[in-house]
Chains A and B, each alone.
Chain A
Amino acid sequence: MKAWDEMVKCALLGTEKMPLQVAILPQNIQKILEKTDKTDSEAYFLKAAALTWTYRRAGQMPDKTPLPSISAAPDETLKFAPPQYISLLKRLFDSGTSRFPQLFILFFEKMVEKNYVLTPENVYDVLNLTTEPIYRNHKTLISRVVGERGRWLTQFNEAWQMPQVQSFDAVWAEGSSADRRLALTDYRKTDPEKAFNLIKGAWQEANAREKKDLLKILATQPQNEEWTFVQAIYDDLVQEKTPKAITQEMKEIAVGLLLNNPSSDLYKKVAERLKKYVVTKKTFLGLSSKNTLELPTESDDFLNGTVMKYEFGHGFTPSTNELLTEYWFTYFLNRMHPSVWEDLLETDDWQRILQVLEDADRLITNNRKRQRQSFKWHISTALGNHRYRQGVFACLKTGKNSDYQTHILNALSNDELEKYFIDHIDIGEVSNVRNHLLRENWRWSSTLSLYILRGIIARKNETYNNIPFAINSAAFFDSSILSELYALSKLPQSDWQLQQQHNTLIMPLIQFLEIRKEIESF
């Protein structure tokens, strides 16, 4: 309405600066105002405004410029989740979205298993989860549970939209180096043959850095024909008289791969050269003999800087107080397939092998101030990488925890690991091994759950370390410990530490396990 807009202008500037022009007002209003005193210009204006305001409100008609309507959401093809699902979802939201994300995921997986979708009232909150970092990897799952209505709603918020998955061919043709590498790594898992052909095809055109990336892709579980390819690359690399840093890096990757494979030429060559450090010693009466290991104290024709640099790409120097030969020897302990020591020492008794390594270690380092781990610790790297169970068990049987890398525990089955924990690990040391307790898809047995819970409860003065671990591991606990938790929750909280345990451990665990139990019962 033009009159109103003109009046707004007058009001903004003030009647002093811009008096009202009566002619702009509708005739009806002008007529009403005829008898009004014009000398009080503000009162006159306000009266005119009051009339025009009413006139305008009463005369306003809805706009009739049809807008393109938003296309309707497709009908749901799946059933809506029953009320108890929705009720549980609300309780999950009440407990906070970052506290127990595992429960949300478990809940969504149950929805998918039962072929349910959320009712429209609840899709907003669930879609919003996709904006939180911890749920970003679960967008596909969330997209499934929000149903047609939720997927339709994502068009109104970019943050909810599912990432557009480009085909491998598109990424390979147009993607950045990093994207191509990631895509090829993934692709190799589904079609290793084609992936290998692509690597071979790209090799000649690739620059040194790209070659290094391509070589890295082969580092996970190389296939048969890939070994020949890696060996050929290695053979080319060692030809360089003055290798650049990138060449050395590539060489080290190739060496790492080839030393892992007992049938590779390099492995065989190194095994042969290591033989000279194996010394056969007769027993006291000369009735039997034992193979032992003796390393030179000075560089020789194998364990020397030039060989290590040019043949193995190993250009680093050891820390102080460490023998160079010993340092280079650990390079092979770490990398070579553990079976090499069975062949060299002519025994498959790993306790014996470990003893030989330990003796060699002592021999060389006698009277030295040591600042590094023992040979046993280095062989444990290879044992862990290869999940070489006979060596791993021997390590666990003979050594202290500090003698080996805990990742050898990867070689144990869940049951074996559980037994090992209960027999050997005090909960106070749990921080060293906690990652091994969090194996994917592992639900601790009732015994292990209780062992961990009781251990944590007993160490109330270490709650700062242990409670966050227990809460982050809530998904691993077996629900059977609920009765123990209920009993604990009723105990008097006689000091602040017990109170803290009650509030930050026992009650949240009860909440978690109760909800998980409920989800699983659906």
Chain B
Amino acid sequence: MNRLSEEQVLQLAPDASSLKSGKDLANVKKWLNFKYNERVLWGEMQGSGKDPYRTQIDLVSTAFKCSCPSRKFPCKHGLGLFLLFARDPSVMKQTDDEPTWVKEWIDKRQAKAEKIVEPIVEIDDKTQAKREKDKLKRENERLALVQAGAAELELWLKDLLRGGFLSLPEKGSGFFDKTAARMVDAKATGLANMVKGFTKINFYNGTGWHSEVLAQAAGTFLLLESFKNIEKQTPSVQEDIRSLVGWSQKKAELLEDETGEKISDTWLVLNRLTEHEDDLTIQKHWLFGAKTSHFALILDFSYKNTPFSNLLVAGTWLDAELVFYPSNMPFRAVIKNQGATKAQFHPPVSSSHNWQKAQEAFVEKLILNAWADELPQILSQLTVAKHDDMWFLQDTEGGLMPISRLMSFEKMMQLLALTGGKALDMAVLRVQDTVVPLGVFVDNNYKIIKI
């Protein structure tokens, strides 16, 4: 059975108000009934309507269903019931006798998990030829637009350089947003992201931003040059360049693609980062495969609070088959088949022995993809060290890696509280020249650091 901790259940809340409401509903007095067995948890709660809301939770692969009208996912009823269960399952009756409404849902889910039947739609040759022609036309039109955008961006970079970067802090984010918007118009969203990268630089941290601005400009120019010379690259490098410039492959297409790289493993969800950009919420989950030692990034998007398609819980293990986006360095992936979530699982985890080895592994990734960043790594026996007001992670041989200043005081204290100054295996995220600790292995249990 999948028995998540209270902390893990709370991660599933789609927003703060659902979190609060869910906590309020984690009260036995608020439920008319609730029961569970090895595969499913269900309960009924009297809402404002005539009939009680029926809430169901798949305990094997963590999924929710509720008859309430909420568009949030999971809804507060699902969260409340799951939280109640996480706190103390002994308050609930365990039974194999499932009501029909529960049995139908959970049976259907299990059947779906076991066999995915793809609908076959037959298309005649003429229609197919027309579709391909239209597609090619659209692609050519887009390519022309992107090329024009890339040329404009190159000019913008050169102008910026000619005048010097010293005046950039005075320009404000609007200056960059304008150029980023031009790139969006040119259907080069990746290039727009490169421009937005300038706005993420902290121009008020002394002279630290000087090097960061040049690095951002260099990385952008490298991409523009690579895009100009894309035909000279191998197909997998071409995929990376196209992806970085702004072409994206649809998730459904990727799942259908038989040639895509697939890896089945028990994956440790190393951590989660949620970022907001206007109406868009981006969720990043970093995964680590216990058998294959492969790392993966699951990106999920929510526009105006629509539900995320993946319900992953940081700090748990997950049986899943991942399909990786075509790349010279396969890293970003989607979940093709999701199995059981395991809150308690302790396989041996392979790790780099020191920063030297970790750096070598990182360079191997850079050879495959020059823009690679935000890559997770697992290292053994790291201790926290401090020099002046900078924090470091130190390996057993004295190798040091600075901890990103993105780590707030609170998070640093949480890291210290977990480690207690002892040398522990840790998962970290390489962010430029620094690291962000993702989690620590304490007595074989993986504990996440909230980032």
Residues of chain A whose beta carbon lies under 8 Å from any beta carbon of chain B: 4-5, 7-8, 11-17, 40, 42-43, 45-47, 49-50, 52-54, 57-58, 60-73, 83-84, 86-87, 90-91, 94, 120-121, 123-124, 149-150, 152-153, 156-157, 486
Contacts and interface: CB of A to CB of B under 8 A. Distances in A.
A153 B23 contact: no
A50 B392 CA distance: 28
B161 A73 contact: no
B355 A46 contact: no
A150 B418 CA distance: 10
Interface in B175-215: 210-211, 213-215
Contact of B211 (A4, A46, A68): A4
Given A11-B161, A67-B387, A61 B356 contact: yes
A76 B310 CA distance: 39
B219 A53 contact: yes
B272 interface: no
Nearest to B410: A124
Given A12-B165, A13-B164, A14-B162, 5 more contacts: A42-B162, A50-B221, A60-B433, A67-B400, A153-B416
B194 to A, nearest CB: 12
Nearest to A63: B400
B164 A58 contact: no
Nearest to B359: A62
Contact of A8 (B163, B211, B400, B401): B211
B413 A153 contact: yes
Q: Place the interface of chain B in its size category.
A: 35 or more
Nearest to B421: A72
B400 A69 contact: no
Interface stretch (B290-298, B330-338, B378-386): B378-386
Interface stretch (B129-137, B262-270, B362-370): B362-370
A96 to B, nearest CB: 12
Main secondary structure of the interface of A (DSSP, over half): helix
A11 B416 CA distance: 39
Nearest to A54: B370
Contact of B210 (A8, A43, A121, A157): A8
A5 B416 CA distance: 34
A84 B87 contact: yes
A47 to B, nearest CB: 7
B359 A69 contact: no
B422 A16 contact: no
8 contacts: A8-B211, A12-B165, A50-B219, A53-B218, A60-B433, A62-B399, A86-B6, A152-B420
Interface of B: 6-7, 20, 23, 29, 87-88, 154, 157-159, 161-166, 210-211, 213-215, 217-219, 221-222, 225, 355-356, 358-359, 363, 366-367, 370, 383-387, 392, 394-395, 397-401, 409-410, 412-414, 416-418, 420-422, 433, 442, 447
Given A45-B161, A66-B394, A157 B413 contact: yes
A68 B413 CA distance: 18
B166 to A, nearest CB: 5
Contacts of A12: 164-166, 210
Contacts of B370: 54
B356 A120 contact: no
Q: Return the 5 tightest CB-CB contacts between A and B, nearest first.
A: A14-B164, A66-B398, A62-B355, A42-B158, A73-B420
A123 B414 CA distance: 8
Given A11-B214, A67-B392, A121 B418 contact: yes
Given A67-B392, A71-B421, A152-B421, A90 B164 contact: no
Contacts of B217: 11, 46, 49
Contacts, number: 159
Nearest to B356: A62
A29 B218 CA distance: 14
Contacts of B221: 46-47, 49-50
Contacts of A150: 417
B222 A54 contact: yes
A403 B420 CA distance: 63
B161 A69 contact: no
Contacts of B162: 14-16, 42
B447 to A, nearest CB: 7
A448 to B, nearest CB: 26
B218 A49 contact: yes
A68 B161 contact: no
Nearest to B83: A87
Q: Pick the most buried of A5, A54, A62: most chain B CB atoms within 10 A of its CB.
A: A62
A150 B416 CA distance: 10
Contact of B161 (A42, A84, A91): A42
B400 A65 contact: yes
A4 B210 CA distance: 11
A60 B211 CA distance: 15
B6 A120 contact: no
A73 B383 CA distance: 12
Contacts of A11: 161, 164-165, 210, 213-214, 217
A87 B89 CA distance: 13
A40 B217 CA distance: 17
B218 A52 contact: yes
Contacts of B218: 46, 49-50, 52-53
A61 B394 CA distance: 14
A244 to B, nearest CB: 55
